[in-house]
Amino acid sequence: MERDGAGSGPGLSLDRIVRVAVGLADAHGLATLSMRRVATALDAGVMSLYRYVPGKAELVDLMVETVFGEIDYPEPGPAGWRARIELGARREWAMYQRHPWVLPIVAGTGRPPLGPNVLASVEWVLAAVDGFRLDPATMLQVYLTVSDYVQGAARYVQTEAEQERRTGVNAEQWWATEAPALARLLGTGRFPVLSRLTEEVGAAPATVRQDFEFGLGRVLDGIGVFLSGEAGAADPADGRPANDPTGAATDENRLEKVTILDRRLPAATSAALETLGRRWILDLLHVLGHGEARFRDLAEALPGISRRVLTERLRELADAGLLRRRVDPGPPTRISYLLTGRGAGLREVLTGLDTWARQGDRVTGD
């Protein structure tokens, strides 16, 4: 990540810029982060930062890569799928406690950053269920089930921290304040189960760590049932279905299961169709298929698109790895957009779609 440049001030490097930005986001949140604030923390001119990173969006991507790179995934890792997933989940959860600003970027979205450290995290966990004869979409669903739980639990901690910062009241103080009102409600007799529980364990909830560990255990219990029974998965140790240790299941039954699973649209294809189906996406790809273009050129080529929507669509295409932003420092500074190799690979698809559309009334059904 290190990259020194002339005129950028002593000791300034891409690695240092990113790590200072991570520290600012940890302390004050991502919303307050700006290129100017990072430059001030580095005692550097704001324009010197652009020698290393084109803008805040690209800086945030590098920040996410950096904090995911902090997670230590041992190799070969613990034996057994459960121990491996458990370790990965705990280390990812711990990273979110150190860097809570990462959560809104990676959680609750089908378009997370796709840097090598992020992908390495996914790869390490997926390896836990590799060899169970699951189809690719199901393997990914197993990973997402665990990831969604970890991110949701971490989001809960983040929300509680934000509430405490905003109100100045921590969870223990809040429960103490609400205790009289809760006691009155429970005293009505309408909530007998809750009344019994609060009498036995008290009104205050378990610690955050206890909550996380209990939930993680139950998620893994469910995955264990799925792997051993519902999926008819193979045990990586001997290749036989885990719910059929005698190997009595017939090849015909196995083939039938595989055939049914193969009918499902692959997850990658489904995600690609979701991206391409958004308004203006295909129009932008068509225009950029003819070569590099500036924002103004794209706006003129697509009458009817607003600047806000154009900005959003360009970011979505960049997030999907189909587009990249080129910054020429000039002077004057010139920003343009061009397709990546992956984006250019859609030219043949777009040409085929154009040919199909031009057939018009000549297209007939079987």
Give the pLDDT of residue 362: 58
What superfamily would CATH give domain 14-67?
Homeodomain-like (1.10.10.60)
Cβ neighbours of residue 195 under 8 Å, at least 6 residues apart? 186, 187, 189
Nearest-5° Cα angle at 84, 127 to 102: 85
Give the pLDDT of residue 19: 92
Residue range 270-362, CATH number: 1.10.10.10
> Which mean pLDDT values do the consecutive 10-residue runs of the chain (366 residues) have?
42 89 89 90 88 88 90 81 88 88 78 83 88 84 89 82 78 79 86 79 58 85 79 43 43 44 55 79 90 90 87 84 82 85 86 80 52
The percent helix, strand, coil of the chain (3-state, each to 5) is 65, 5, 35
What superfamily would CATH give domain 81-168+203-262?
Tetracycline Repressor, domain 2 (1.10.357.10)
For residues 300 and 280, give the distance between their C-alpha atoms in angstroms, rounded to a whole number.
13
DSSP 241: B
Question: How distant, in Å, are the alpha carbons of 47, 306, 363 from that of 17?
Answer: 13, 33, 57
Evaluate whether 53 touches 59 at the Cβ level (below 8 Å): yes
Give the pLDDT of residue 227: 82
Alpha helix segments (H runs only) across 107-135: 116-126
Nearest to 329 by CA among 58, 62, 47: 47
- Work out the burial of residue 100: count CB atoms within 10 Å of its CB; fewer than 13 is exposed, 13-18 middle, 19 or more buried: buried
DSSP string covering 58-78:
HHHHHHHHHHHTT----SS--
Domain ranges of the chain: 14-67, 81-168+203-262, 270-362
Same topology for domains 14-67 and 270-362, yes or no?
yes
The 3-state DSSP class for residue 336 equals: strand
